[in-house]
Amino acid sequence: MFYISAKEFLLWEKKQLFKGGDKESLYLLLESIAGLSHDELNLLRLNSEGDFYLKKNLGLIESYWDNHLTNNVPIQYLSGFTFWRDLKLSVSENVLIPRPETELIIDIILKIFENNSKNLFFAELGTGSGAISIALALAHPLWEGIATDIDKDAIDIASRNFMNYSNQQNLRFCSGHWWNPLETFKGELDFVVSNPPYIPEEIYQKLPVEVKNFEPKIALLGGEDGLEHIKEIIYNAPLYLKKKGWLILENHFDQGSIVRQLFLDNRFTCVEVLKDFSGIGRFTIGRYK
């Protein structure tokens, strides 16, 4: 712990922002590595007379900040943490940093099953840091889930993230290509959720440096038209879902109507494209017959 005066800290903060970057990123760094929350920062501004504690010294925090500004390394990879819904998750360059727009997928699923008190069996394809599956397993301790990913390092991170929150046994982790780890669960899943890689090749090439140079390509690129993985997931879903089971997918901002048609072509019913907070048709849901 490092004891520091509020005045000294506020001067330091001004100096850091003067070098560049945005306030939100600096606050994220302060929260994730120094344990200083937004609320505590606001209190410091209201009363700059006192002293307080930081988990790390200002010199070290500044070195992280400089690395972020110079090399465009995302703060989350520097600190090793990200915040998503009410979770603090470990992340490394092996996993995508879970995005705020994806948070809504949890509310969509909870809404679909709000009147269903049964113990459900679900799978997530491409779990990355585990964000989606962990949020679901914690929200419904009686549900049972299997979180899968092609990347074994992602599976390690996701399972450690789950263990940090719970000693429940209701979430398992398996690595493998899309449906392969679920071979023994054909026809048994109440719902399957996935935020697959869906960025088209041309757009991928133009992504900002902090995304393209640091986040895993395998987590982002969806082939030439962005739909390669989405198609594979939809085509095989009927084999694995229970009768009337749900498939819930995130898609790129402009893929909603194509993904909707793919659901319909594969005999899904109740198909809907749902909007995110920016009004973009970001999620496609449907029920297998």
Ligand X SMILES: C[S@@+](CC[C@H](N)C(=O)[O-])C[C@H]1O[C@@H](n2cnc3c(N)ncnc32)[C@H](O)[C@@H]1O
**Is residue 89 part of the contact set for ligand X (CB under 6 A)?**
no
**Is residue 74 part of the contact set for ligand X (CB under 6 A)?**
no
Of the candidate spans 33-41, 53-61, 195-203, 253-261, the one that interacts with ligand X by CB under 6 A turns out to be: 195-203
Q: In angstroms, what is the minimal distance from the CB of 99 to ligand X?
A: 7
Dist. CA 183–CA 122, nearest whole Å = 14
Q: In angstroms, what is the minimal distance from the CB of 25 to ligand X?
A: 19
Of the candidate spans 48-56, 120-128, 159-167, 259-267, the one that interacts with ligand X by CB under 6 A turns out to be: 120-128
Dist. CA 267–CA 259, nearest whole Å = 13
Query: Taking CB under 6 A as the criterion, which residues in 24-53 touch ligand X?
Result: none
Is 1 within 8 Å of 53 (Cβ atoms)? Answer: yes
Is 103 within 8 Å of 170 (Cβ atoms)? Answer: no
Q: In angstroms, what is the minimal distance from the CB of 250 to ligand X?
A: 7
Q: What are phi and psi of 246, to 5 degrees?
A: -105, 145
In the complex with ligand X, which residue's Cβ is closer, 173 or 263? Answer: 173
Q: In angstroms, what is the minimal distance from the CB of 97 to ligand X?
A: 7
Query: Taking CB under 6 A as the criterion, which residues in 259-278 touch ligand X?
Result: none
Q: In angstroms, what is the minimal distance from the CB of 199 to ligand X?
A: 9
Buried/exposed code over 20-30 (b: 16+ C-beta within 10 A; e: otherwise): ebeeebbbbbb
**Is residue 161 part of the contact set for ligand X (CB under 6 A)?**
no
In the complex with ligand X, which residue's Cβ is closer, 33 or 131? Answer: 131
User: Which of 196, 245, 256, 281 is the binder for ligand X (CB under 6 A)?
Assistant: 196
Is 251 within 8 Å of 283 (Cβ atoms)? Answer: yes
CA distances for 131 relative to 2, 152, 184, 224, 261, angstroms: 31, 16, 24, 27, 28
Dist. CA 87–CA 91, nearest whole Å = 12
**Burial group, residue 65, by CB count within 10 angstroms (0-12, 13-18, 19+):** buried
Contacts of 124 (CB under 8 A, 6+ apart): 132, 133, 136, 145, 146, 147, 148, 192, 193, 194
Tell me the number of residues near ligand X by CB under 6 A.
Answer: 22
Q: Sketch the per residue contact string, 141 through 160, with ligand X: x for CB under 6 A, - otherwise.
A: --------xxx--x------
**Is residue 218 part of the contact set for ligand X (CB under 6 A)?**
yes
Residues contributing to the site for ligand X (CB under 6 A)? 95-96, 98, 102, 125-129, 131-132, 149-151, 154, 177-178, 195-197, 218-219
